Chains A and B, each alone.
Chain A
Amino acid sequence: MSQNYTLEPGYIDGALGSLFTMHYRPNKLTEDTECFVVAPSFAEEMNRCRYMCTMLAQSLAENHYAYLSIDPFGTGDSEGDFIDADWQQACADIITAVGYAKKLGYKKISLLGIRLGALQVMQIVSSIPSLTRIVFWQPVVSGKTTLVQFLRIKIAASIGRNEKPGTIDEFDAQVAQGDSIEVAGYDVSPGLYQGIKSANLKDHLDFTSVPIAWFTTLNSVERKTPRAELDVMDKWKQAGAHIDHNIVIGPSYWQVHERTLVPELVTATVNYILDNKL
């Protein structure tokens, strides 16, 4: 099979240690080649999204787009343990990845924000000049709501075991004391916990010139786009944002057991990008 790209794994220097990057470099590079830098979700969601990301990267690269993923400090194959992972540091690491993409020669750089990664994209967007576009996959609107869902995994995991499940309020108090909290094998630091909790898409209005492609995956045609997502889109559009909302029907790939894939989302995203050259 002929391939239009080269896979270049590597490490770059971050503020706290080496960061693992995966670069899909198209063989045909021009001034116009657009590079997608990924802001991933985190913990188990990051794992469950990984194969979808690989499929997207391959498909984009086949179509002469570049793709650069980074594992923020303390996650994936980067240095540091998960307990070292921190919200602000993850944002800084994505900026580092954007800088690396520039160093690789890309003139057009875009950000792909997946789930919580979307909140990180919005946090850093104003510090990245001349971003080409933003792509969202199932963006998290409220970090707080998502944190509650994440903590519920801890409660749900205690089902069937002889453990006291604990409550969200107890977890909150534990973190407020400066302790980390273990959820599904991930030691979440207070910095990560509070960063997620205080992030909300509605707080960001400072990006209006960057076009946004927003992909919502719904389980079936009977389901509707969550109200919270529509509210943010309305608010941003009123502020002058250009948003293309795309709906794809498929399973919740960020949530359900591994290898649940939505190839339709990959196809829809790549076709959208091919149809909307910037």
Chain B
Amino acid sequence: MELADEIISIVREVLVLGDRAANFDLSTQLIGAIPEFDSMAVVGIITALEDEYGCVFSDDEISAEVFETIGSLTELVKAKLDE
């Protein structure tokens, strides 16, 4: 859960969600469910993740599936870190 907590904290910071992210967990829906989650926000989160974990995302990794939930985003980062 530790990585997921870090991801939640990054999403909260980038989207400036504050207390609204207090109950976020792996199943929390992101794109389409959070109004702030626009295309610039997607890019902001990718950039923040790249900065934080020193990884680089490829174009085809920016997909609806990845940004569906906190869980799917966490899976992507986990896969990057295991590479």
Contact = CB atoms under 8 A, between A and B. Distances in A.
B41 A256 contact: yes
Interface string A135-154: 00000000000000110111
A167 B60 contact: yes
Given A165-B59, A165-B62, A168-B59, A156 B39 contact: yes
B47 interface: yes
Question: Do most interface residues of chain A lie in helix, strand or loop, or is the interface mixed?
Answer: loop
B14 A219 contact: yes
Interface of B: 9, 13-16, 31-32, 36, 38-44, 46-48, 51, 59-60, 62-64, 67
Interface string A155-179: 1110110000111100000000000
Interface of A: 44, 48, 149-150, 152-157, 159-160, 165-168, 184, 219-220, 223, 226, 251-252, 255-257, 260
Contact of B43 (A153, A223, A260): A153
A44 B44 CA distance: 13
Nearest to A256: B16
B43 A149 contact: yes
Contacts of A223: 13
A172 to B, nearest CB: 11
B62 A159 contact: yes
B15 to A, nearest CB: 6
B39 A159 contact: yes
A16 to B, nearest CB: 29
A255 B62 contact: no
